[in-house]
Amino acid sequence: MQAQFFIDNKPFFSEINEQLKLDIHSIPKPYSVFFDVARNPFDRISSCLIKNNVLFIDANIIKYYQPMLKIASEKIMIVEVNEHLKTLDGVSAVLSFLAKNEVTKNDQLIVVGGGVLQEIGAFSAAMYKRGISYVHFPTTLLSMCDSCIGGKTSLNYLDSKNQLGLYYAPTAVHINTCFLKTVPETEIQSGLGEILKSCIIGGENCLRVYEEKIEKGCIKSFDDYQTLIQIALGIKKSIVEADEFELNYRRSLNYGHTFGHAIEALSEYTIPHGSAIVLGMILENQLSVQHQLMDQATCEKLNNVCFALLSEKSRMIYKKMSFEKILIFLKKDKKANGDSITFSLMRRWGDISFLNLQQSKLYLARFEQID
């Protein structure tokens, strides 16, 4: 399947197929995403635990697979994952773990977990001895479809999301959808939110496949996960290879994230990331209509698809928010520059542009109340 889409009027093309390897061109060197179809994902993980390599793993994952691990306990760092772990304190703990195990430049950090673990692991790997390599085994749908490529790593700081960060790509990424069998439904919905974002950016063909595979906010078949992940990564690959360090076109991937990050932080992370992004897309679609970039019919179509992904819990938390409080968090957004902030807004599916607005004059004629 070929996807054609436009970012700020520049055409992009993405050839999306079902191959089990996706090569990513990156600086300073390329890396690959491998799709592992083995029933036991820990077979591949165990093969990476050689020499003095160490394991950084989510406690919710290891409880299912610990009997399969053949590695000294002191070489395993197990953490309970939450958004508050994504801080300098979290990184400091990983650095201490690496130093205690006398990890060298020739060794690897094996990261098994979702996006939070990946960001802490990548940040730590970049800092330790001016950079050691790390291999990522994403275990959540969100990390499989989005954060595992692109090299971005961010930390929360002073109660604000993603204020510290750098770019540090993995040596390799191994995706096995079997991990999704143990993931809570809320995390699946969160991942589907990011997949929807990518499919809207990717255009008509991508959105059509999404609508074929998803019904009433749920995936029709477990086998469809890999197809949707490949579409999302294919779209992101074409963008980050053109603009790895977000100087221009990569900003398109912030669609839904400007309002979304504010909503996520305002909820104190009780709304999952992907669900907050879905809410952000709804608001940003309305903003696009308000500024005559998108017509109302397109907005209603996209927002109806978005609404289907929202859980009752996320809806209830969101309904207690005010637009004024969201604006307070917007001022801390990394895309803010003085009183202005840049939004990535859709004209229609497959056509996105950038709009710089003054925060002091920012308003929504319709601040959507979700029933």
Range of the domain at 21: 2-182
Written as one letter, the residue type at 361 is: K
Residue-level pLDDT at 73? 87
Q: At CA 240, angle to CA 163 and CA 351, rounded to 5?
A: 100
Give me the CATH number covering residue 150. 3.40.50.1970
Per-residue pLDDT band for 362 (boundaries 50, 70, 90) equals confident
Given a cut of 80, whether residue 294 has pLDDT beyond it is yes
**Bridge partners, residue 174, by sequence:** 34
Decide if 109 contacts 103 (C-beta within 8 A).
yes
Is residue 27 situated within a structural domain? yes
CA-CA distance, 320 to 222, in Å (whole number)? 34
Out of 182, 205, 227, a domain closes at 182
Per-residue pLDDT band for 365 (boundaries 50, 70, 90) equals low
Per-residue pLDDT band for 308 (boundaries 50, 70, 90) equals very high
Residues 39 and 148 in one domain: yes
Residue-level pLDDT at 361? 79
β pairing state of 152-157 and 160-167: antiparallel
Residues 43 and 175 in one domain: yes
H or E segment and range at residue 238:
helix 224-242
Given a cut of 70, whether residue 371 has pLDDT beyond it is no
CA-CA distance, 90 to 338, in Å (whole number)? 30
For the chain, the domain total comes to 2
Collapsing DSSP to helix, strand or coil, 292 comes out as coil
Per-residue pLDDT band for 254 (boundaries 50, 70, 90) equals very high
Is residue 249 situated within a structural domain? no
Is residue 51 situated within a structural domain? yes
Count of alpha carbons within 13 Å of 195, Cβ hemisphere only?
33
CA-CA distance, 326 to 259, in Å (whole number)? 7
Residues 264 and 350 in one domain: yes
Residue-level pLDDT at 366? 65
Give me the CATH number covering residue 307. 1.20.1090.10
- Phi, psi (5° rounding) for residue 138? -70, 140
H or E segment and range at residue 113:
strand 108-113
Q: How distant, in Å, are the alpha carbons of 127, 154, 234, 240, 288 from that of 29? A: 18, 21, 19, 14, 38
pTM assigned to the model: 0.94
Tokens read off for 237: 């690959």
Per-residue pLDDT band for 334 (boundaries 50, 70, 90) equals confident
Is residue 198 situated within a structural domain? no
Residues 171 and 304 in one domain: no
Per-residue pLDDT band for 146 (boundaries 50, 70, 90) equals very high
Out of 137, 158, 182, a domain closes at 182
Residues 288 and 177 in one domain: no
Is residue 215 situated within a structural domain? no
Count of alpha carbons within 13 Å of 165, Cβ hemisphere only?
19
